Amino acid sequence: MTNGREGHGGHAHSPAHSHPHSHPGGDQELDWAAMADHLERAGEITLASLTETAQWLGDLLAERGTRVRRVLDVGSGPGVAACVFAGAFPGAEVVAVDGSEPLLERAALRAAGAGVEAERFRTLRVDLPEDFGALGGADLIWSSRAVHHLGDQQDALNRLAGSLRDGGLLAVAEGGLPMRFLPRDFGLGRPGLEARIDAVNGEWFTVMRSELPGAVAVVEDWPAMLRRAGLTPAGSRTFLTDLQAPVDGTVRDYLHAHLSRVREVLGTELDEDDVPVLDALLDDGSPHGVRRRPDLFFLTATTVHTAVRSAR
């Protein structure tokens, strides 16, 4: 179930993935080892908002007097968020959970490089939904852009809620606003390219969801879904990443990879006249290319929904 995605540092879902995590189940469609650099770069770009998110979650837990002893990052990818949580909760064991062994290896290396004590950081490879029972109990469960890659999203929340200890918090990053990085009219082709890509991507996402094993349609009212999972909603909050033009090379490299994936996966579905525009944006030798143009920025918003487990 690792259908190419990145998580919060989240952004609009796309086959090119605007968020930095992978999925917690196995998937043969993508080479996650090859994608690791791209995923980690995406996490670095949104690191400030992710750190702010961890602080907010810590405050919610502190208000309830919950001692955080174990944190699960379900769909951890290369471990950007897991390492942030290790820093935010210095007394807790943090477990990076994913379906890709190469990405879990990258997560372990990242944690070691960040100075996280080996006894506090571990990895766990799972295939979900089959392996939900292997997660064990936790005081904080974080899942970014992973639940929507399981056919039955409500069941996934039910199972995650079942792993929460009394007073524990489940936080799911699902939703927000599409990523933006170009002016509406950037001097090539018809204005509004990003909006047209969003429309095609929306159709792609609908088909992707419908083809998942055990797919169940549900109104994606996340607080209501968390309530049905037996939890008490504790609030939703949207975190912004706003990098003004001109952006640095890391952002440019990320956006180049993002557009390359859009071109590869969605190219046949886009308007005919939009394809050469994408090619121009990907041309490293052109002043119109994303690696050179001075008007490139980076703006996205990720919404995090939270709920707590009352004492049983």
Question: What is the per-residue DSSP string for 18-70?
Answer: SSS---SS--SSS-HHHHHHHHHHHHHHTHHHHHHHHHHHHHHHHHTT----E
Q: Is the pLDDT of residue 59 over 70?
A: yes
User: Tell me, what's the pLDDT at 311?
Assistant: 74
- Residue 36 is predicted with a pLDDT of 87
Say if residue 3's pLDDT is above 90.
no
- In Å, how far from its chain's centre is CA 252? 19
pLDDT at 48: 97
- E strand or H helix at 179: strand 164-180
Q: Which percentage of the chain shows pLDDT scores above 90?
A: 86
CA distance 85 to 223: 23
Question: Helix, strand, or coil here: 111?
Answer: helix
pLDDT in tens, 193-207: 999 999 999 999 999
Is there a contact between 139 and 114 (Cβ–Cβ < 8 Å)? no
- Please determine, for residue 8, whether its predicted confidence score (pLDDT) is greater than 80: no
Q: What is the pLDDT of residue 15?
A: 44
d(CA 312, CA 241): 38
Point out the least confidently predicted range of 253-257, 265-269, 289-293.
265-269
Please, what is the average pLDDT of the chain? 90
The mean pLDDT of 254-264, rounded to a whole number, is 96
**Cβ count within 10 A of residue 309:** 22
* Interval 171-191 mean pLDDT: 96
What pLDDT, on a 0 to 100 scale, did the predictor assign at position 11?
A: 33
Confirm if 10 and 302 have CB atoms less than 8 A apart: yes
Spatial separation of the C-alpha atoms in residues 185 and 173, rounded to whole Å: 31
**pLDDT > 60? residue 148:** yes
List Cβ neighbours of 2 (8 Å cut-off, separation of 6 or more): 22, 23, 24, 25, 26, 27, 29, 30, 32, 98, 99, 100, 149
3-class SS of residue 280: helix
**6-10, 82-86, 307-311: lowest mean pLDDT where?**
6-10
- How far is it, in rounded angstroms, from Cα 170 to Cα 25? 19
pLDDT above 60 for 310: yes
Q: In this model, does residue 101 exceed pLDDT 50?
A: yes
Higher pLDDT, 28 or 178: 178
Per-residue confidence (pLDDT) for residue 49, from 0 to 100: 96
